[in-house]
Amino acid sequence: MTEDSVPRDSVTRLGTEKPLDVLVLAGGLSHERDVSLRSGARVADALIDAGVSATVHDVDADLLAVLDERRPDVVWPLLHGSTGEDGSIRDLLELVGVPSVGTGSAGSRISWSKPVSKTILARAGVATPASATLPQSIFREVGARAVLDRVVDRLGLPLVVKPAKGGSALGVTLVHTKEALPQAMVSCFSYGDVALIEQAVSGVELAISVVDLGDGPRALPPVEIVVDDGPYDYDARYNAGRTEFFVPARLPAEVLERARRAAVTAHRELGLRHLSRTDLIVDAAGTPWFLEVNSAPGMTETSTFPLAAEASGLTLPQLYRGIVEAALPA
């Protein structure tokens, strides 16, 4: 068989007949295991549609042996939660010496910490809500009521309480009254031992995905998130029916452009690679407020990254193959 007779999608970037071999990592033992498995399955299916040889593997005792024996062209980690997003799986893949999709270990550690991300982006000129970062130990040592009184005196109400590290809105509570704050702290500390307490910003909630296929980061169409009842929590994110999405968001063009710039700034300043998703709220004055960034965005049927990709005119197989090719060694 000559190269000209080989279907285009089965040819690697190097022009061989062997299709790209991608190992998608999904699962793990975090609270977000189910989301990870759903993301991994959808990405693997899209890659197969693009002519890529893709399989899903869990993070287990066989992983290193599989990597050593198979030596995939690229590994795509779609692990959510600490192991997948705190840099540890990236360190492991770097030790093994296999190329991977997404942000490296250093950038992952930075973006995994919401307080660190907020500090870096505030210095870069991106608006982010005033906040306090407090470990669980400080409440025991100083006294919970005294600390919470100072929080309310300084930051006011309403407040958002969330784990300083974490995803999928697990442990996140919108607090409208001082009396509700202690329970919000209990919920937060069930997912981590450090809390980020920040002023709540009212406005339009946006998720802005960024991709970089080798020619610099660019923002995909902003996704506006509208929840029928309550906050955009774990249930609203991953169970169809509670949330309505508008792509592009229903905001003036100049406001959307400011939001896109903020997302691209987050991608660059935090040292992210290939793909990311930045969560923002745009207030009544048109100011985008940075909330957090995700270096391993969800890819489920209700996730905003695939919605934005399709709204940009790209097919998911086309985009995901492009991301894989961007991760190949030069």
Domains: count for the chain:
3
Confidence check: pLDDT of 32 > 60: yes
| pLDDT interval class at 265 (50, 70, 90) | very high
pLDDT at residue 317, rounded to an integer: 98
Same domain, 219 and 236: yes
How many secondary structure helices (H) and strands (E) does the chain include?
A: 13, 13
Higher pLDDT, 201 or 9: 201
Using an 8 Å Cβ cutoff, are 93 and 75 in contact?
Answer: yes
Q: Between β-strands 21-25 and 53-57, what pairing exists: parallel, antiparallel or unpaired?
A: parallel
Same domain, 156 and 303: no
- Residue 329 forms part of a structural domain: no
Same domain, 120 and 88: no
- Residue 183 forms part of a structural domain: yes
- Residue 330 forms part of a structural domain: no
| pLDDT interval class at 4 (50, 70, 90) | very low
256: which 2 tokens?
A: 């959307």
Give the CATH number for residue 212. 3.30.470.20
Same domain, 188 and 241: no
Confidence check: pLDDT of 10 > 50: no
- Residue 241 forms part of a structural domain: yes
Distances (CA, A) of 181 to 114, 120, 152: 20, 27, 9
Domain limits for position 155: 131-199
Give the model confidence (pLDDT) of 180-201 as tens digits: 999 999 999 999 999 999 999 9
Tell if the pTM clears 0.95, that is, is over it: no
Same domain, 194 and 261: no
Same domain, 184 and 228: no
Confidence check: pLDDT of 217 > 50: yes
- Residue 119 forms part of a structural domain: yes
Same domain, 224 and 114: yes
Give the CATH number for residue 159. 3.30.1490.20
Same domain, 164 and 271: no
Give the model confidence (pLDDT) of 150-183 as tens digits: 999 999 999 999 999 987 788 999 999 999 999 9
Give the model confidence (pLDDT) of 40-98 as tens digits: 999 999 999 999 999 999 999 999 999 999 999 999 999 987 777 899 999 999 999 99
